[in-house]
A and B are shown apart, each in its own frame.
Chain A
Amino acid sequence: MKAFGVLLRRELALAWGRGGGPLLALTFYACVVVLLPMASGRAPERLAAIAPGIAWLALALAALLSLERLFERDYEDGTLDLLALGPAPLEAVAVAKCLAQWLATGAPLALAAPVAALMLGADLKVMPLLVLCALAGGLAFAFLGGLGAALALGGKRGGLLVAVIVLPLFAPPVIFGAGALDGFSAGLPWTGGLMLLLAYCAGAVALSPLAMGAACRNALD
């Protein structure tokens, strides 16, 4: 447990500093949101209709940003070999990395999502739900993304490869979150979508470390 705490602190410091940390993710998020009205037209009613969905999708894309370096940097300089020999199992290392990734990019993005949705004209009432979905979804995105990053270890063109592996896995959480947001905005039942999103998130957090551990061991062999 102590080893895990130390690991988490190390990963958090790295994630905060790595290539701009949260600032990079927030800027990317802002860019996507700014380009949207330019692409789809700025009629307020049209924007308002798609605002929660776009704020939600942009989160999924922003979660891909710094994934490529999540394991790769430690793999290249040999740190991962040392971590594999250390007291914490590789699964715990993977959990620490994904949690740090979420705290450094997912959580700030979740807090920024309502601002984006507001600028696009979404209703104020949907904001608490959007933050909740973004927090839970961000956790799922971080763990699934970590899985992709661990599998792509040692590959060329890492970033693109991770995106191709991970985006199909994002389909269920994106659908559940958007379902909850749409339902809420339209005054339909929405708790089902939220529950499914939370369940998916719990499943991803519980199961993907096993696959990440196996993938890291495979890369280190």
Chain B
Amino acid sequence: MDARHPFDFLTNPERFMAFSRWAAPLLGALSVAAGIAGLVMTFLVPEDYQQGDTVRMMFIHIPAASISLFIYVCLGVASFLALVFRQALADLAAQACAPLGAAYTALALITGSLWGKPMWGTWWVWDARLTSVLVLLLFYLGYMALRGALEDEQKAARAAAILALVGLINLPIVKFSVEWWNTLHQGSSTFMAKRGDGLPAIYAWPWALMTLAYLGGFGSLWLVRIRALVWRRRARSLAMKLAEGGR
């Protein structure tokens, strides 16, 4: 028996496949259930006294925005593991999560824009948070462009991992710089809000459920995409073996 560490099931491809085979559909089901419950609650909560009906946008907008940032952290951690510890699976995880991150970021921008029109009277303002989320989207697209432009897969993986780490260092600076530049956006009202300025308890439930739904959806799709990459790699190495073996 080989020595195992607690996260062995995530670094060993065999065990990862066995784990994700169940985890992916499970997370997907959790996401759908939480999403249905969250959407139902979204339409049941009373209107906000200031924002009226449009407050319901919050439950599909804020989770997308927070998860788009969370996915970048996942991308950075996976890239670090791939670059420093040469974890092949971590590299696949980084590759798999970039398009998901870009999609969630785009979702946050689009829903935010739709919310901004009735609330601020404009689709887009160059305010700190909007701008930093837009730069986040550009980071994702740059990562994907670099990954796609280099033909040698090994080299593409390492170059992209370096870029992801540079982005991880740079992102807080971008955030700080645009905040220093200009801010209009309402402050965060979920965690660190001042007393009385926070999210009313009645809105916390649909918010939490929708966050769970988005998170579960990301987890499930991430695992499915990693599985697809593992299979593709296996298929390629089988094809190589076939080509070498005789014909």
Chain A: residues with CB nearer than 8 A to chain B? Answer: 147, 151-157, 161, 164-165, 167-169, 171-172, 175-176, 179, 192, 196, 200, 207-208, 211, 214-215, 218-219, 221
Contact = CB atoms under 8 A, between A and B. Distances in A.
The 7 lowest CB-CB distance pairs between A and B, nearest first, are A155-B149, A172-B177, A168-B138, A218-B158, A175-B177, A165-B142, A151-B159
Given A154-B155, A165-B163, A218-B159, A196 B180 contact: yes
Q: Tell me the interface secondary structure of chain B in the complex.
A: helix
A158 to B, nearest CB: 8
Contacts of A211: 162, 165-166
Interface in B139-153: 139, 141-142, 145-146, 149-152
B144 to A, nearest CB: 10
A208 B138 CA distance: 20
B162 A171 contact: no
B191 interface: no
Nearest to B138: A168
B174 A171 contact: yes
B49 interface: no
B178 A152 contact: no
Interface of B: 135, 138-139, 141-142, 145-146, 149-152, 154-155, 158-159, 162-163, 165-167, 169-170, 173-174, 176-178, 180-181
14 contacts: A154-B150, A155-B149, A155-B150, A164-B145, A165-B142, A168-B138, A168-B139, A169-B167, A175-B177, A200-B173, A214-B158, A215-B159, A219-B155, A221-B155
Contact of B174 (A155, A172, A218): A172
Given A154-B150, A172-B173, A196-B177, 12 more contacts: A147-B166, A151-B163, A152-B150, A154-B155, A156-B149, A156-B151, A161-B145, A165-B142, A168-B174, A169-B166, A196-B180, A218-B158
Given A165-B163, A211-B166, A215-B162, A171 B145 contact: no
A73 B14 CA distance: 43
Contacts of A147: 166
B146 A151 contact: yes
Contact of B181 (A179, A214, A219): A179
A175 B181 contact: yes
